[in-house]
Amino acid sequence: MTERTFWRRYRRNRAAVLGLALFALVVFTAIFGWLLYPSDPWAPVTRPFLWPGERTAFPLGSDSMGRDVLAGLIHGAYVSLLIGLAATAAAVGLGVTIGTIAGYARGRTDDALMRLTEVFQTIPNFIFVLVLVAIFKPSIRTIVLAIATVSWPPIARLVRAEFLSLRERSFVQSCVAIGMTDVRIMWTQILPNCLAPVIIVASILVATAILVEAGLSFLGLGDPNVMTWGKMIGDGRDSLRTAWYLSAIPGVAIVLTVLGLSLVGEGLNDALNPRLKDL
């Protein structure tokens, strides 16, 4: 599929284009926001509980310690997105590796790896993440590894199913006939044909990882040394009756980001689905 064909299919879904615009805005804010708005999100800069719009210098107001909410929102975008992307990358790497080996080897190797996958799938994801983060010191690395630990099984099962379907195709048998090694067949012939569904699922995993991190921070299990949207929501929960905007503003940011990623995933499914025909 050419890039032109991909984009033509993708833009048919207007909701997906909107989702891409939302996600692009979040990425732009995460990368360049601190240059456009370099205020320190930890520094008290005005009186506490300044409401949004009350002073033009602080468009989104201030929190209970007089910190700029907009500065926290911009700097939190970078950390929240970094956690989502890093956890997804780790989960995809592990899931693809296990799914590739299980789907190509089959037999006892497949059975053993799938039993391991089922063990992880039987444990409630968020509770498992809570336990892992509570056991180890809460930090960005711990949170990323914990989210990746519970996120890889769906990727592994998806890749395994694709391998089982493609392993008997004629192009694979031709590679075997000419003496190509198993490792080369797996990584250069079969795996590239499995990437489309993996990319679609990965877009959803990024959104899920951001939500999980927000939940951890809300419960006080986030990294105390970094500003995230979840931490902002957690810091504002004690003032919900008098300053609900402290939790509402980062909450809206999370909703828009997750919505954008979900719509992007839907658009990728439409664009990469080989069963869809050009109109």
Residue 279 has pLDDT above 70, yes or no: no
Residue 224: inside a domain: yes
User: pLDDT tier at 138 (50, 70, 90 boundaries)?
Assistant: confident
Q: Are 61 and 245 in contact (CB under 8 A)?
A: yes
Residue 258: inside a domain: yes
User: Residue 62 and residue 66: Cα distance in Å, rounded?
Assistant: 5
67 - beta bridge partners? 44
Residue 57: inside a domain: no
The amino acid at 226: V
Q: What's the token pair of residue 93?
A: 């790497």
Residue 275 has pLDDT above 70, yes or no: no
Residue 138: inside a domain: yes
Residue found by looking up tokens 């509570």 in the block: 134
What three-state secondary structure class fits 223?
A: coil
- Name the DSSP class of 40: -
Residue 274 has pLDDT above 80, yes or no: no
User: Residue 111 and residue 159: Cα distance in Å, rounded?
Assistant: 15
- Nearest residue to 197 via CA among 265, 255, 121, 113: 265
- Nearest residue to 117 via CA among 92, 166, 153: 153
Residue of 24 and 184 predicted with greater confidence: 24
199-216 per-position pLDDT tens digit: 889 999 999 999 999 999
Residue 233 has pLDDT above 70, yes or no: yes
Q: What's the token pair of residue 202?
A: 């990965």
Domain that residue 98 falls in: 18-38+63-272
Per-residue burial over 228-250, b = 16 or more CB atoms within 10 Å of its CB, e = otherwise: bbbbbbbbbeebeeebebbbebb
Q: What's phi and psi for 134, nearest 5 deg?
A: -70, -35
Indicate the number of domains in the chain: 1
Task: Out of 126-130, 233-237, 266-270, give the one with best mean pLDDT.
Answer: 126-130
Residue 192: inside a domain: yes
57-85 per-position pLDDT tens digit: 899 999 999 999 999 999 999 998 999 99
Residue of 92 and 270 predicted with greater confidence: 92
Q: How far is CA 39 from the centre of its chain?
A: 27
Q: How many helices (H) and strands (E) does the chain have?
A: 11, 0
Is the pTM value of this prediction over 0.85?
Answer: yes
Residue 228 has pLDDT above 70, yes or no: yes
Residue 270 has pLDDT above 70, yes or no: yes
Residue 278: inside a domain: no
CATH number, domain of 179, equals: 1.10.3720.10
Residue 46: inside a domain: no
Residue 214: inside a domain: yes
Q: Are 69 and 246 in contact (CB under 8 A)?
A: yes
